[in-house]
Amino acid sequence: MTRIAHLTVAAVAGAALLLVACNGAPPPPAEPARESVAHDFSLKNVRGESKSLSDWAGQVRLIDFWATWCAPCREEIPWLKELQRTYGDEGFTIVAISDENAEIIREFVEQNEISYVNLVDPGEVSGRYGVISLPSAFLVDRDGRIVEEFRGAKPKKILEAKVRELLGLPPS
């Protein structure tokens, strides 16, 4: 076999191996956008009041894109409520955003006694944040930088540890 034939066989074998290895594998986790500044926005809450991300400037914020029909989103609600209760007085705020009808969101929020902020997005904010699946969330530090991105269900222990770190609290 000539040298070119050997290289061709090696290249084809390598490409085949790569395709087999990647087939069916989950996508790699999103890299944290550590130097990315969170885009400010202004949206209406479920009562029709205009709110901006900058309303909570200086706080650690979790921007959580969700929907009432999203099963993983619904599963996270009890522990997100707990997270807000536990760390709200320390300077932590959850800003939940859904593109559903405001009335549907309002009824769901009331039925589930969700006390954290819920905003209605006509689609522009989720697009600016590159949201393509739910749930998606962005953890923002006190300086307004996105320090962690979560695509899909958020790992509770990891999120809580990161929130504690950003609030300057000791590990639990």
Q: Which domains does the chain have, with CATH numbers?
A: 30-167 (3.40.30.10)
Report the alpha-carbon distance of residue 172 to residue 169 in Å, rounded.
9
The pLDDT tens digits of the residues spanning 112-148 come to 999 999 999 998 999 999 999 999 999 999 999 999 9
Averaged pLDDT for residues 154-163: 96
Sign of the alpha-carbon dihedral angle for 124, 43, 57, 169? negative
* Chain Cα centroid distance, residue 100: 17
pLDDT of residue 35: 55
Report the alpha-carbon distance of residue 127 to residue 131 in Å, rounded.
6
pLDDT of residue 123: 86
Question: What predicted TM-score, i.e. pTM, was given to this entire model?
Answer: 0.79
Enclosing H/E stretch for 127? helix 124-128
**Of 7-16, 47-56, 77-86, which range is least confident?**
7-16
Averaged pLDDT for residues 154-172: 96
The pLDDT tens digits of the residues spanning 23-35 come to 344 444 444 444 5
Kindly indicate the confidence band of residue 11, based on its pLDDT and cuts at 50, 70 and 90: very low
Report the candidate in 143, 156, 56, 147 with the shortest Cα–Cα distance to residue 96: 56
* Chain Cα centroid distance, residue 7: 44
Structural contact between residues 133 and 151, judged by C-beta atoms closer than 8 angstroms:
yes
For the CA atoms of 35, 143, 113, 131, the dihedral, rounded to the nearest 10 degrees, stands at -20
Report the alpha-carbon distance of residue 128 to residue 120 in Å, rounded.
15
Structural contact between residues 68 and 100, judged by C-beta atoms closer than 8 angstroms:
yes
Kindly indicate the confidence band of residue 172, based on its pLDDT and cuts at 50, 70 and 90: confident
pLDDT of residue 153: 93
Which of the 8 DSSP states describes residue 91? T
Structural contact between residues 109 and 116, judged by C-beta atoms closer than 8 angstroms:
no
Residue type (1 letter), 17: L
Q: Is it the case that residue 68 has pLDDT exceeding 80?
A: yes
Mean pLDDT of the chain: 85
pLDDT of residue 105: 97
Q: Is it the case that residue 16 has pLDDT exceeding 50?
A: no
Structural contact between residues 73 and 66, judged by C-beta atoms closer than 8 angstroms:
yes
Structural contact between residues 138 and 166, judged by C-beta atoms closer than 8 angstroms:
no
